[in-house]
Structure 1
Amino acid sequence: MYNAAPYHLGCLYETGYGEDIFKDEGYAAELLTQAADLGHPEANYRMGDAYEHGKLQCPRDPALSVHFYTGAAERGHAAAMMGLCAWYMVGAEPVLEKDEEEACEWARRSAELGYVKAQYAVGYFTEMGIGCRRDILEANVWYVKAADAGDNRARQRLNAIRAAASGGMPMEVGPAKAHNLRKTKSGTKEDNCLVM
């Protein structure tokens, strides 16, 4: 496709190639932006990530990150869908408000495409009732899919659900997690994000 040329050239300038192409992250970002503007899904995703994390000499800019992630997600890019999920989980005023239902919906779309990280996230959202109704059985289905694909967090959640069902401590997955659970119940913020 016509949008692939600036994408591939941008990738070459991102890292450099032999003696002919010197590493130039700024120019790489320009080329990836051209490809993204022409509808290249991976270029859109890479620029969304660049503006989210300040890569390729791009400033951190939630509006541009959401813009590029949306361009990729609308073209079926599963990782970009999870990028949007993350933005909706935390919000980015005034670009977009926090919306757990929208976050869950983007995660679900990504999970349905087979993206393992999203399968775990949908399992977690469904188990906890984040952005959707709470449903342990559906959560279990998503955790099994993610665990079968090698996700260790999904295996831990499955073990915790089984332990809770057999009378063990609910959500217990080891001493460190039990400590965090007690810490969370006492009113302090949990340090680790279990979803992303």
Structure 2
Amino acid sequence: MTRLGKACLSGDLGENRYREGIKWLKRATESADAMYNSAPYQLGLMYETGYGDDIFKDESYAAELFTEAAGLGHPEASYRMGEAYEHGKLNCPRDPALSVHFYTGAAEHGHAAAMMCLCAWYLVGAEPILEKDEEEAYEWARRSAELDYVKAQYAVGYFTEMGIGCRRDILEANVWYVKAADAGDERAKQRLQAIRLAVSGGTPMDVAPPKNAKMRKSQSKEDKECAVM
């Protein structure tokens, strides 16, 4: 039903089947289960922005549909709800506990971006529901990096260069920076250049902020994301 609905909406089965596509997608949503869990997410995307003459923009209902899909194990829906509760999107309140809950659901299903969002939460903590834990932050970043997520590769390089949540290791940091730089990450290229300069006459700490400057408890999550994410 999901595939038929999407085919009607995309025009793959001919023109003028728009309403039929919506009908099948709604029926698929009503029948969604853990194996076939994408229909609520797809329908939620339509309500998030509005679609055609029949589906009006309704962000609250989109959030309901994403939540339904997330409960059935849809990783992208879980990630979107993690974002919603972190930033107050889709008419959702800012709620660190629910944000961490949904990001964790997405991360456990292999969603690399959600892993990095968990990394960010663990870097700063969210008392009283989540204690700051740099080692846990590093572990989530590394899991994401091993899935070739470029932002995570840079972050792991930075963590290992500075010794954040792990043993400080400039050689390993260089390996991760090279991976990120090869994928086009400009910050990784800058760190590699700084390390080369340090090798020729200084130390990496001369050209990068010391760990304490990045990890003050009073610093905001957004500030740390600028430095590491």
Say if 2:227 is the partner of 1:194: yes
Which residue of 1 is the match for residue 59 of structure 2? 25
| Amino acid of the structure 1 residue aligned with 2:139 | E
Provide the aligned length of Structure 1 versus Structure 2.
186
Report the equivalent of 1:120: 154
2:127 is matched with which residue: 61, 72, 93? 93
Name 1:76's counterpart in structure 2. Answer: 110
Query: SS of the residue aligned with 1:119?
Result: helix
**Does the 8 Å contact 2:195/2:203 carry over to 1?**
no
Letter in 2 for 1:91: G
Q: CA deviation at 1:95?
A: 1.2
Structure 2 residues without counterparts, runs of 5 or longer: 1-34
Deviations 1:176-196 (A, max 9, x none): x8xx77xx5xx9x79674102
CA spacing shift, 1:169–1:129, aligned 2, 3 Å: closer
Deviation at 1:105, TM superposition (A): 0.1
Residue 16 of structure 1: CA displacement? 1.1
Give the AA of the match of 2:228.
Answer: V
Contact 1:48 1:67 in 2 (8 A): yes
1:68-95: CA deviation from partner (whole Å, max 9, x where unpaired): 0000000100001001100100001111
- Measured on the aligned residues, the alpha-carbon RMSD in Å equals 2.1
* 8 A Cα contact 1:82 1:110, kept in partner: yes
Aligned residue in 2 for 1:157: 191
Q: Give the structure with higher Rg (CA).
A: 2
Give me the TM-score of the superposition, normalised by structure 1: 0.89
Q: What CA deviation, in whole Å up to 9, does each residue of 1:125-149 have, x standing for no partner?
A: 0000000000000000000000000
The 8 Å contact of residues 161 and 171 in structure 1, kept in 2 or not, is answered as no
Which of 85, 88, 91 is residue 54 of structure 1 equivalent to? 88
Distance 1:8 1:33 in 2: 12
**Distance in 1, Cα, partners of 2:54 & 2:205:** 55
TM-aligned CA deviation for residue 20 of structure 1 = 1.8
Q: CA separation of 1:39/1:170 partners in 2, compared to 1, >3 Å: closer, same or farther?
A: closer
Deviations 1:145-175 (A, max 9, x none): 00000100000100110010011574566xx
